[in-house]
Amino acid sequence: MNKLMKCSLPVGIAGIVINLIFFITNLFYELVVPFLEDSSIDGPLFHFLDALIFYTPCIFIVLFIALIVFGHIYKKKAYVKSEGKKTKVMIEKNAEVQKILDKKAEFLKYDYFSNCPNCGSPRNENEQNCSFCGASLIIRKIDEE
């Protein structure tokens, strides 16, 4: 079903063109009616089958138009679904990056000692507390303007 829906436009157009040719030239009708005339069918059933055979290409044209329409709807839904998945993944990645940026922004709101005021060991990069004694390395919070 997926393969048919993916190529519904060219298949539908080809089907419509072929059935238009059949209807305009009456080729299908002329090929099938002799079998119907040779059968023992008569009366209203014969007239119904005669009309059905005559209009069969038109019925197929309508079916091919439906194939084009439903194929287009199917492809649109599949596209929206795939875009939704891509968007969800992108939002999750952006949320992770945002958490990292928030941590960095929070870190930059403070002034820090370059050495621990408690034990004197040098402060490592991105540390708020001393790695040796655990004392706070924050001098003060920078005022936001």
Please tell me the predicted confidence (pLDDT) of residue 108: 83
Write out pLDDT tens, residues 72-82: 888 888 888 88
Provide DSSP, 8-35. HHHHHHHHHHHHHHHHHHTHHHHHHHHH
Write out pLDDT tens, residues 95-132: 999 999 988 888 888 888 889 898 888 988 888 888 88
- Cα–Cα nearest to 51, from 21, 34, 29: 29
Per-residue H/E/C for 55-97: HHHHHHHHHHHHHHHHHHHHHHHHHHHHHHHHHHHHHHHHHHH
17-31, 34-48, 89-103, range with greatest mean pLDDT: 89-103
What residue type is 57 in one-letter code?
A: P
Calculate the alpha carbon distances from 32 to 49, 52, 106, 128, 139 in Å: 11, 11, 82, 89, 96
Please tell me the predicted confidence (pLDDT) of residue 65: 92
94 — pLDDT class (breaks 50, 70, 90): very high
The verdict on pTM exceeding 0.75 is no
- The residue ranges of every structural domain in the chain are 2-106, 109-145
Please tell me the predicted confidence (pLDDT) of residue 40: 83
144 — pLDDT class (breaks 50, 70, 90): low
